Amino acid sequence: MTETKKLLRSLAGEILPTPPIWMMRQAGRYLPEYRATREQAGDFLSLCYTPDLAAEVTLQPIRRFGFDAAILFADILLVPQALGAELWFATGEGPRLSTIASQADFDALKGKDDIHDHLAPVYETVRILARELPAETTLIGFAGAPWTVATYMIAGRGTPDQGPAHALIAENRPLFEALIDRLTEATIEYLSAQVEAGAEVVKLFDSWAGSLNGEDFDRYALEPARRIISALKARHPGLPVIAFPREAGPRYVGFARATGADCVAVDNSVSAPWAAAKVQVDGCVQGNLDPSHMVTGGPALVEATRTVVRAFAKGPHIFNLGHGITPDADPENVALMVETIRKG
């Protein structure tokens, strides 16, 4: 069955006449059926930790749009919670966590091997999806990259410039690096368990990689990704890995070679022709339609979609947005995007 899955073929380097399609955050608030299921769950974390419901929202966009891949419904902050951090979601304000500000805070965290009981519902969701997805649909597991997850753990919330994490690097680099190391180890265990449960591909989301520069990018974005990918491929030979160092700009160039990633996802701050010339030379690229087109639609959506497809047509490509679809997106625009790609 692997040979028939378009996404796996692209990840293996095959150039297909029509690229496989999926969207980041494709299971989300823009879909009325998602909103109904989330209401049934009661709150976001309950949805993440209730396997039947998490599997249901993962399957909803596959039923509606026929995407070539489904990505596990979970959240990047489940790993810090499994490590012992307190996690809650403030209505209208997003996630909140207890903070790592001292050695004592770090010492209170659990080890990498102690996360699995907490994350068992996530693995069960993967098992359900492995059984229930259409035979042609690839199942993607995922985790947040250590740098991005660390920024939330240090600040206790999302921040516009990741300032608290940068401050900790300046004030106590050994503590910061111990946190990165713990997250790297835990991420290896978490993703490996997803693969054992049935994930066919894993993706590493480094949403705040763009705020790292120079040697810090190499140390805290590139090197953890390399360690994670190397360990996963040693345990699971042939496992494809997608890396997304968002807003890395020129640092996208060579990222696949340096980390061992089979595919680099690019955001929409770089142009598709640039990414084709500079990044796709090393293998598969994923991206990178501006998510705003899912809100505005119309002829501009059709033309922008065609531009991305044309730009990447000479190499292996997975069509996706440059970032996650937003809650105000119109499902009809998603359908138009899919139709535009598949009808040429």
> Does residue 35 carry a catalytic annotation?
no
> Does residue 25 carry a catalytic annotation?
yes
> Does residue 152 carry a catalytic annotation?
yes
Choosing from 30, 68, 75, 267, which is the catalytic residue? Answer: 75
Choosing from 34, 152, 190, 252, which is the catalytic residue? Answer: 152
Question: How far from each other are the two terminal CA atoms of the chain, in whole angstroms?
Answer: 26
> Does residue 75 carry a catalytic annotation?
yes
Choosing from 38, 64, 96, 219, which is the catalytic residue? Answer: 38
Choosing from 25, 226, 227, 251, which is the catalytic residue? Answer: 25
Choosing from 29, 64, 96, 157, which is the catalytic residue? Answer: 29
Which residues belong to the active site?
25, 29, 38, 75, 152
